[in-house]
Amino acid sequence: MDLTEATIMRIAANASAVSNGKKLSQKGSFKNLCKDAESTVYWAECAGSSGFYNTSVDFGDGSQDPVCRCSCPSRQFPCKHGIGLMYEIISGKAFSDSAIPEDLAAKKAKKEAAEAKKEAKIQEAIDNAGAPKAKSKSSAAASKKKMAQQLEGLDVAEKIVDELLSSGVATLSGQSAKKFVDVANDLGTYYIPGLQAAFMQIANYIDRMKHSDEETINLLYQQTIEKILCINTIIQKGRDYLQSNIEMDNISEDNGYLFEALGGIWKFDSLIGINSFEKDVQLIQLGMYTEWDNVKQESRDISYYIELKTGELYCSVNIRPYSSNLPQEDSNFEKTSASVMVKYPGIGCRRIRWEQPRTSPVTADDCARILSVADPDIPTAAKKVKNVIKNTMANNEYPVLFTIEKVLANENHMVIVDKAGNNIILRGSVYMKPSEQIKDLPVEIKPGDAIFGEMFYKDGSIYLLPFSYINEEKIIRIA
């Protein structure tokens, strides 16, 4: 692997770690710089608060991110010493060839064995994909019992919706709101956490109305109604799904989204098991943002990717509970290749995960590929969006990539125009003012270039929130 500063910044936990690591390198904190003959493992001693730490960077076969190991007490991974050592490498310092220390070699071997085991498990899942594993009698019985309880839960959920509609959402306050929350909490005992979270979201909307102005209250009512519609759809479709599964126990990719909507959590090899995967993919990130879910008490880093072979748009979701110290996902400006990528069943932009990633720089050929798979005009892109957002279980936005002709602006709005003369208004969020970003684009806007963004529905119209601008040489990230 060609180690670059971009890679270091990507794998570091945060900007402070990068800064601290760089400082260690710059002030000469490292001594006894060594590497193996193949230049796959580097190690050194680094001055620390209580003596010297043994730090190493292992590039393995160069196909994945390097592994840093250090004897310091930091729980951050990689620690600043590991980052500092990587800066020693890229700054061209001289490392002596030496035999890998025994303890380091042992750790390396253990890791390689664990990876081989993981790879074998994934390969086994791929070999058996589509052929459901026969469950033991007790496991099948437990599964059916759980589904029966879920069905009961759906009946309870339907009753909650019924009572809510009869009395009216506006009556939810004080004691009735508390009772609503208690009843919603009880849904957890029926193994339907997805629906439980949906009801708690309604409670959250109602609670927020207490501190909101009229415009926000109207928006919150709107969101509440859409959430109720979503819950109703999950109940109706979930009932059919569970009833058929109780007999057949056959989750397929077609209905697998209900598994997650009810609160199930997909495992990597389970997704391979239902044939929901691709092999040998190449992904380029085109945009990202973070959202906060106060009900589930978690943050989610959402990144949009294009898969170069198929031209499909996907998203990855990095979930970080508020109570955890999990690092926020950072921008990725490189191309990611993975031997296996799983796709979560779903309506809308499919979520993906992958294992064993390798990174390489984005090339002009990659940009040209992106331009070639972009939708040719706005109506083509919009049709895909409308097909998704009409579903009560889908969000109101969907990612699009389409070719542009030019950009126009007046003092109030900015529009993107396609070759056929169709246009779409750019609209930002509290996070972005796209007009300002586009006006400052550091490349010439040319016909045939492409825009990637989210088309979203609001107040009777469909707008575009742009995330990146792609020309034949590069991808300019706006968000």
Partner 1 sequence: MNLEPLYNLKERLDHIVIAGTNLIDDDFKLKKAIEDMSSLAAVNPVFGKIQSAANAIFTTEKEKRNKQILTVLGTVYAVIKTQGTIGTKELDGYEEVVTSERPHVNIPKSILSVMCDVTTENYAPLRTFLIANPMALLSTNMFKKTLEFYRHSMVYHGSNGGFLDILVNAIQNDKTGKYIDIVKESTNIYSVELLDALGDHAGAKWYAENITKFKPNDATYLYFQKKDVPAWLYVKFITAKKSKDIKDNIRIAKALISKHPGCPEIQEVLNFFESQNWETDTIITFMNSESKK
Judge contact between 408 and 417, C-beta under 8 A: yes
User: How many alpha carbons lie under 13 Å from residue 363 in its C-beta half-sphere?
Assistant: 7
- The tokens for 444 are 């010439």
Nearer to partner 1, 52 or 457 (CB): 457
Please compute, for residue 183, the number of CA atoms within 13 A of its CA located in the half-sphere on the CB side. 20
At which residue do the structure tokens 């909507």 appear?
261
**Assigned token pair, 194:** 């997805």
> Residue 255 Cβ, how far from partner 1 at the closest point, in Å?
19
Shortest CB 208 distance to partner 1, Å: 6
Per-residue tokens: 280 = 């040998």
Please say which residue, 339 or 396, places its beta carbon nearer to partner 1: 396
Closest C-alpha among 271, 261, 270, 224 to residue 240: 261
Nearer residue to partner 1 within complex by CB, 228 or 367: 228
Q: In whole angstroms, what is the distance from residue 19 CA to residue 188 CA?
A: 44
Would you say 10 or 350 has its CB closer to partner 1?
10
Rounded to whole angstroms, the Cα distance separating 293 from 285 reads: 23
Cβ closer to partner 1: 46 or 164?
Answer: 164
Question: Cβ 448 to partner 1, closest distance in Å?
Answer: 15
Tell me the Ramachandran region of residue 297: left when phi exceeds 0, alpha when psi lies from -120 to 50, beta otherwise.
left
Instruction: Output 279 or 386, the one with its CB closest to partner 1.
Output: 386
Among 155, 162, 207, 218, smallest CA distance to 181 is for 207
- For partner 1, the closer of residues 51 and 460 by Cβ is 460
| Closest CB to partner 1 among residues 241, 266 | 241
CB of 74 to partner 1, least distance (A): 18
The 8 Å CB, 24+ separation contacts for 439-445 are: 439/409, 439/414, 441/469, 441/476, 442/476, 443/469, 443/471, 443/474, 443/476, 445/404, 445/406, 445/407, 445/469
CB of 114 to partner 1, least distance (A): 29
Shortest spacing between CB 156 and partner 1, in angstroms: 15
DSSP 174-193: HHHHHHHHHHHHHGGGGT-H
